[in-house]
């Protein structure tokens, strides 16, 4: 049996940091409200001329170095993002070109905040079937360009960034299981109202801004993420006490705490970046994974559950040994 296994990780965060006190000057909010309701203390914001492929490329270079591979070994690139540079060519081809590699399949997957989980689950299938020997998987997002900076109910939540992993075949696990799901009946609770075939409109003009029914999203997210975690454990006959780390999507500290509680996991066993990064959509899970690995908390062989939930709704989990 061939598994895919993480060979290296990397992340990139834009230079500019925006604190809660800056937001206090922009909208009617307070550091105290943002911290207690969301856990966010600061977030990184991409520069005006920075694109999602800039962030993705920097994260990819860090992961390539960390894996100790030659970039020419990469034979597959999959990127989860909802905020690509262009409609086409797809962002993975842009990153491929900028890495200076040619010929391998390169494509993107759009599943909002679950984008990286969908991308890694897809790349895992290529590696398991022998179609890829070295895959680059990225979650990258400049979601703040879709945010209305006068809307206090959304602008305090988000940040930008990119996280990347290199996966390679291994006889030892590796990725044990991937569970993905979606339910379009919830499409109106979290969405961006314009697109290519529907009234294409420049972000930041008119009502072209991220729309979210926060409270409703919160309730479905807590319920779904709890069952997603249980689904992964049950499918593999693994008891929650065996988990070493939870690496969750970093949308809201209260959602993360609720999932950890359902798994009987103390917060010491959860990789938390929401305070520093805010909600970076598809970038949040791979960046949190990279943080936990690079600071030495996540060790080789440990059992890790990654999970995410986002617009659509989409959701998913990946259970793996690092
Ligand atoms: N500062 C101060 N007050 C605020 C702010 C703010 N930034 N935002 C809202 N409020 C007010 C509201 O107006 C409301 O006031 P009222 O009681 O006078 O009407 C009050 O705070 C409570 O508002 P709620 O929306 O009920 O606050 P809630 O506790 O639900 O927290 C939040 C809001 C943080 C958005 C929460 O609902 C949440 O995290 N939702 C989930 C977000 C998420 O998980 N998204 C999924 C992924 S995102 C993606 O896929 C792109």
82-123 pLDDT tens trace: 999 999 999 999 999 999 999 999 999 999 999 999 999 999
Q: What pLDDT shows up at residue 195? A: 87
CA 194 from centroid of its chain's CA atoms:
22
Reported as a single tens digit per residue, the pLDDT across 130-180 is 999 999 999 999 999 999 999 999 999 999 999 999 999 999 999 999 999
Q: What pLDDT shows up at residue 208? A: 81
Report yes or no: 160 and 14 within 8 Å, Cβ to Cβ.
yes
Query: DSSP labels for 133-188?
Result: SSEEEEEEE-GGGGS-TT-HHHHTTB--EEEEEEEEEESS-SEEEEEEEE-GGGGG
Find the catalytic residue in 20, 66, 90, 279.
Answer: 279
Q: Ligand 1 centroid vs 207 CA: distance in angstroms?
A: 19
Kindly state the average pLDDT of the residues 267-283: 98
Percent of the chain scored above 90 by pLDDT?
94
Active site residue 201: no
The count of residues in the chain is 322
Say whether pLDDT at 252 is over 90. Answer: yes
Say if pTM beats, i.e. exceeds, 0.85.
Answer: yes
Q: What pLDDT shows up at residue 144? A: 97
d(CA 141, CA 138): 10
Find the catalytic residue in 20, 66, 113, 178.
Answer: 113
> Among 111, 148, 153, 224, which is best to mutate for testing ligand 1, by the most ligand atoms less than 8 A from CB?
153
Q: What pLDDT shows up at residue 205? A: 66
Backbone angles phi, psi at 224, to 5 degrees: -70, -45
Q: In this structure, which residue's CA is closest to atom 29 in ligand 1?
A: 37
Reported as a single tens digit per residue, the pLDDT across 25-67 is 999 999 999 999 999 999 999 999 999 999 999 999 999 999 9
Q: What pLDDT shows up at residue 197? A: 82
Contact 33 CB / ligand 1 (< 6 Å):
yes
Kindly state the average pLDDT of the residues 310-316: 97
Contact 186 CB / ligand 1 (< 6 Å):
no
Active site residue 279: yes
Active site residue 236: no
Contact 287 CB / ligand 1 (< 6 Å):
no
């Amino acid at each position: 049996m061939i598994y895919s296994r993480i060979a290296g990780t990397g992340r990139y965060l834009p230079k500019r940091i925006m604190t809660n006190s800056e937001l206090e000057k922009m909208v009617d909010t307070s550091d105290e409200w943002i911290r207690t309701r969301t856990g966010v203390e600061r977030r990184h914001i991409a520069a005006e001329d920075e694109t999602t492929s800039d962030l993705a490329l920097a994260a990819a270079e860090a992961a390539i170095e960390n894996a100790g591979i030659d970039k020419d070994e990469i034979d597959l690139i999959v990127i989860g993002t909802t905020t690509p540079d262009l409609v086409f060519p797809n962002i993975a081809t842009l990153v491929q070109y900028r890495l200076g590699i040619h010929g391998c399949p390169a494509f993107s997957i759009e599943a909002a905040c679950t984008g990286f989980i969908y991308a890694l689950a897809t790349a895992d299938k290529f590696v398991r079937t022998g179609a890829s020997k070295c895959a680059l998987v990225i979650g990258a997002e400049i979601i703040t360009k879709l945010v209305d900076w006068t809307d206090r109910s959304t602008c305090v939540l988000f940040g930008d960034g990119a996280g990347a992993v290199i996966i390679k075949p291994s006889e030892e696990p590796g990725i044990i299981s991937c569970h993905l799901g979606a339910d379009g009946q919830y499409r109106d609770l979290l969405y961006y109202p314009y697109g290519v075939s529907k009234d294409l409109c420049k972000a930041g003009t008119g009502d072209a801004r991220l729309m979210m029914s926060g409270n409703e999203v919160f309730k479905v997210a807590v319920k779904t993420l709890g069952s997603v975690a249980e689904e992964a454990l049950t499918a593999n006959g693994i008891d929650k006490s065996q988990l070493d780390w939870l690496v969750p999507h970093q949308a809201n500290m209260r959602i993360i705490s609720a999932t950890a509680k359902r798994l009987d996991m103390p917060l010491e066993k959860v990789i938390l970046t929401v305070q520093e990064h805010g909600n970076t959509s598809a970038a949040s899970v791979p960046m949190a994974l990279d943080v936990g690995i690079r600071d030495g908390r996540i060790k080789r062989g440990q059992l890790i559950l990654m999970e995410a939930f986002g617009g659509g709704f989409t959701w998913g989990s990946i259970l793996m040994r690092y």
